[in-house]
Amino acid sequence: MDILEVIKQQVESNPVIIYMKGTPQMPMCGFSSRAAQALQASGEPFAYVNVLENPEIFQNLPRFANFPTFPQIYIDGELIGGSDIALEMLQSGELQEAMKAANGKSGQEQSA
């Protein structure tokens, strides 16, 4: 399967997913750390992909949504952005609302 198809499948099958350097428990860059902390602070479940473990995703994800940097957060199939946007949305309450709505639509366990 083409790597862009794999990414598309991950984004569509997970209500909330973050592509990050490292894991939420062991982030490997400050931006990924802040973004994962924002998602964790929402109290809602989310999936993650460690782009450092998958060079194909690392190389091709920027092409997927024409967004050049990491982390990338997708909610309900839509790219919301990276750590700055996630932190702004967390502070305004939008992040929790969006994640809750996306998770409510699916009613499924998360796995990337």
CA 100 – CA 49 distance, rounded (Å): 20
CA 86 – CA 21 distance, rounded (Å): 16
Nearest residue to 81 via CA among 98, 105, 103: 98
Q: Are 109 and 13 in contact (CB under 8 A)?
A: no
Residues 28-57: b if buried by 16+ CB within 10 A, e if exposed? eeebbbbbbebbeebebebbbbbbbebeeb
Whether residue 25 is annotated as binding a ligand: the answer is no
Binding-site residue ranges for [2Fe-2S] cluster: 29
Binding-site residue ranges: 29
